[in-house]
Amino acid sequence: MAGNRTFTMIKPDAFGAGNTGAILKIIEGAGFKIKAAKALRLTQEKAGKFYEVHKERPFYNDLCSYMSSGSILAAVLEKENAVADFRKLIGATNPVEAEEGTIRKLFAKSIEANAIHGSDSDENAEIESRFFFSKLEEV
Ligand code: GTP
Ligand code: MG
């Protein structure tokens, strides 16, 4: 992926509220190209696997329940400096701390129901993309 791809999920709160289109518009407006996308609902088990790095955190079970509470949109995005630029676009984990104009400031409901996920490294972008998309080389 060489630093030009990231992985995102529009989370159940934002997807369920009908904000997927508005969020994708912001993402595309910021110069990201959608390389793969699908709507799906995670099982509690699959959400647990995705967020396994957080399994010792006190909010882990709640997070997995929340992430499997409704449909999500999983997508692979492409842009130069994708991981860092996308983290900037989505804003801080806690929407109270997110900068004006960021996706979380605009759409997140709480620190847990925070509208969107963005990979935090090139390595995780690759792992997370492959978690959802097995034929990435074709997109
Ligand atoms: P992601 O892009 O979803 O990985 O968020 P992040 O990288 O900004 O935050 P982090 O990886 O630390 O946490 C993963 C997710 O767990 C967050 O996006 C929240 O949905 C949830 N989360 C993080 N901290 C808390 C917390 O203190 N309480 C609760 N209830 N949920 C949290
Ligand atoms: Mg994270």
Atom of ligand 1 nearest to the CA of 66: 20
* Per-residue pLDDT at 3: 83
Give the separation between CA 6 and CA 89, rounded to whole angstroms: 12
pTM recorded for the entire structure: 0.95
Residue type, 5: R
Burial of residue 117, with CB atoms counted within 10 A of its CB: 0-12 exposed, 13-18 middle, 19 or more buried: buried
Alpha carbon distance 76, 33 (integer Å): 8
**CA of residue 29 to ligand 2 center, whole Å:** 23
Digit-by-digit pLDDT tens for the chain (139 residues) are 458 999 999 999 999 999 999 999 999 999 999 999 999 999 999 999 999 999 999 999 999 999 999 999 999 999 999 999 999 999 999 999 999 999 999 999 999 999 999 999 999 999 999 999 987 665 5
The pLDDT of residue 135: 76
Per the structure block, which two tokens stand in for 35?
């390389």
For a substitution probing ligand 1, which of 13, 27, 63 has the most ligand atoms within 8 Å of its CB? 63
Would you state the pLDDT for residue 138? Answer: 58
Residue 36: the pLDDT is: 96
Q: Which domains are delineated in the chain?
A: 5-138 (3.30.70.141)
| Strand locations in the chain (E) | 5-10, 33-40, 72-78, 116-118
Regarding the beta carbon of 45 and ligand 1, being less than 6 Å apart is answered: no
What are 4's two structure tokens? 């030009």
